[in-house]
Amino acid sequence: MRHHRTSVRTGVGTLALLAASLAAAGVHAQSGLPSLPKANTPPAQQAPAQTAPAQQAPAAQAAPPPAAQPAAPPAARTTAPGLPGLPGQQQAPAQAVPPPAAAPAAAPPAAPPALAQPAFQPAPVAGFDPVFERPTAEVYPPEQRQSEWHMLAEPVKPQGSPTPLGLWNQTTIQSRYGNMEPRNESFTRIRIREIEAVTKLKAIDTGETVVGGISNAAAAPFRAVGALLTSPLETLGNIPKGISDTIARTGEGFSSDKSKFEDGMFKEIAGVSRKKREIAAEMGVDVYSSNPILQSELNRIGAASAGGNITVDVGSIAISGPAGAVIGNLSRVDALQEIVNTQPAAELRRRARYTLEQMAIPKSFVDQFLDHPYYSPRRKTIVVGLLSPMKDVAGRERILEAALTADSEEAALYYQQLTELISGFHFTNTPVKEIMLVEGFPVALTGKASAFIAVPTDRMYWTREAAQFLDRMLTDLIKNHRMTSATLWTLGDLTPLTAQALAQRGIHAFQRAVVNYN
């Protein structure tokens, strides 16, 4: 974005050590990533028994430690620093959740023994989490729950995600333009922002804009292209250089069917698509959104602006606040977003193909990914643009292989976010050596016999399916890859029972990592 770019960041809090009286149970809360500074915060105080609402785009937060009962109330939160080495990064609060107070032991020892490091292995856990609907106030902050143009309806419903390790939160949005039912929190926030953008765009009067076409200055390029299609040899020499350059850039996409996310070549040549990209960038929305109401308004304003009917002061329609905070490495996402804002869809496709070929990605994966119906030009650009700099990482095609299984826009965003998490871990924590599919799920392996597991879901419940899936993954990592430790980042939160299960398996878990979900 030109005025409201987001930066990529994450923060990580450290897990508090369990109280001495829990040592006898053999449960050991993991510390934070060793390369990160510790939070300089006062001791947390016990919070009232209530569920704290999720915050929009907070930094990564250390997973809550094990609780004796799944229903134990959360404690007060403290603030931890973000990842180091990000120039110009504005710190978002991270919330480290301390353990609930334990009942005093009958005969506490004078000097508590040191807690042993838990083994990295499957481990039994007594019981599983109930999966239940929740009030919107437990998931979204007030400014996202209601505005003058929308309201979130009750309740938030758990929804399956691409992995058994976590679930999405499906939410119904009631708006003046109709109801929407995004399947996860990321898409809910995207749609809320789009509703605000539509409201501002509808307030712009375009006067006598030609419906479905372009007027004034845009008519000449259309006439030129019309002649090109009927008598190309006679007219090629008469097309202005700027238009011929556009035709050259759109060559790959010209002969193929357009996806539902893209404009046709005529709009690109006439300048409509360029105006749409400028407006969308300023408003912090995706110009390739599948939202038909947003696309209708972008087309209306873009056509009038390109045709000279109106002059749009893009600064006056800017939407305040970030479109989505991002995880800690991506000045890269800023650069990729600038490419999306300035280049036509066919040029994005050409660049993505060239980049994938330079990465020696198998052609079958390249063609399937570029033709995938649920990946917009923006999502393709970000996924490819994040994989490309990971030059020494073997198996990057494994992410694309998994990404091809996406069966919805939400699933496509899931794999984009998974790529962002792995890229963030690689560039800000421990370099990744190889990416493998374990139980069909992309797992990053480091040179320190450690694995990194990215879970871009809204909440991790400890269910029977999650337990079985994770233990199969651990068995494979230990037996076939000789892994001795693992780190897990998730976008959402962990239930206390999930935190306990991960700690017992020797997994360093961190919640509320944040990515560029727009």
- Average pLDDT, integer, range 388-410: 96
Beta strands in 363-458 (DSSP E): 432-438, 441-446, 450-455
Give the per-residue pLDDT at 515: 62
What pLDDT does 120 receive?
80
Core vs surface per residue 198-213: b (16+ CB within 10 A) or e: bbbbeebebeebeeee
Answer yes or no: are the C-beta atoms of 8 and 330 closer than 8 Å.
yes
**pLDDT surpassing 60 at residue 249:** no
Which of the four pLDDT bands, split at 50, 70 and 90, describes residue 306?
A: confident
Q: Containing H/E element for 365?
A: helix 363-370
The yes-or-no verdict on residue 462 having pLDDT over 90 is yes
Residue 188 has pLDDT above 60, yes or no: yes
Rounded to 10 degrees, the C-alpha dihedral 123/99/63/166 comes to 60
Kindly indicate the confidence band of residue 331, based on its pLDDT and cuts at 50, 70 and 90.
low
User: What's the pLDDT tens digit per position in 488-506?
Assistant: 999 999 999 999 999 999 9
DSSP 8-state symbol, 395: T
Q: Do 385 and 336 meet the contact criterion of CB atoms below 8 Å apart?
A: yes
- As a whole number of angstroms, the distance between CA 276 and CA 287 comes to 7
DSSP string, 138-196: GTS-HHHHB-SSEEEEEEEEEEE-SSTT-EEEEEEEEETTEEE--SSHHHHHHHHHHHH
- Check pLDDT > 80 for residue 131: yes
Q: How many CB atoms lie within 10 A of CB 409?
A: 21
Q: What pLDDT shows up at residue 29?
A: 34
Report pLDDT for 472: 96
- At residue 263, the pLDDT reads 58
Which comes out higher in pLDDT, residue 307 or 63? 307
pLDDT value of residue 20: 34
Contact 359, 396 (CB under 8 A): yes
CB-hemisphere CA count at 13 Å for 108?
A: 11
Please give the average per-residue pLDDT across 362-384, as a whole number.
94
- In angstroms, the CA 17 to CA 400 distance is 38
Q: Give the integer Cα–Cα distance in Å for 480 and 423.
A: 24
Instruction: Return the domain boundaries, the chain.
Output: 216-311
Average pLDDT for residues 365-382, to the nearest whole number? 95
Question: Can you give the pLDDT at residue 310?
Answer: 63
Report the alpha-carbon distance of residue 513 to residue 57 in Å, rounded: 8
Neighbour tally for 17: CB within 10 Å: 16
Q: What is the mean pLDDT of residues 335-357?
A: 92
Q: What is the mean pLDDT of residues 395-421?
A: 96
Is residue 376's pLDDT more than 90? yes
Q: Between residues 57 and 297, which one has the greater pLDDT?
A: 297
pLDDT at 189 exceeding the cut of 50: yes
What is the per-residue pLDDT for 437? Answer: 97
| Predicted local confidence at residue 239, as pLDDT | 34
- What is the distance between the terminal CA atoms of the chain, rounded to a whole angstrom? 12
Among 318, 266, 310, 273, smallest CA distance to 295 is for 273
- Which helix (H) or strand (E) element contains residue 494? strand 493-494
| pLDDT, tens digit, 9 for 90 and up, residues 205-230 | 876 443 443 444 334 333 333 333 33
The overall average pLDDT reported for the chain is: 72
Query: For 101-116, what is the mean pLDDT?
Result: 41
Question: What was the pLDDT predicted at 138?
Answer: 96
- Name the residue type at position 512: R
Which residues sit opposite 180 in a β-bridge? 173
- Band of residue 78 on the pLDDT scale cut at 50, 70, 90: very low
Which of 338 and 432 is assigned the larger pLDDT? 432
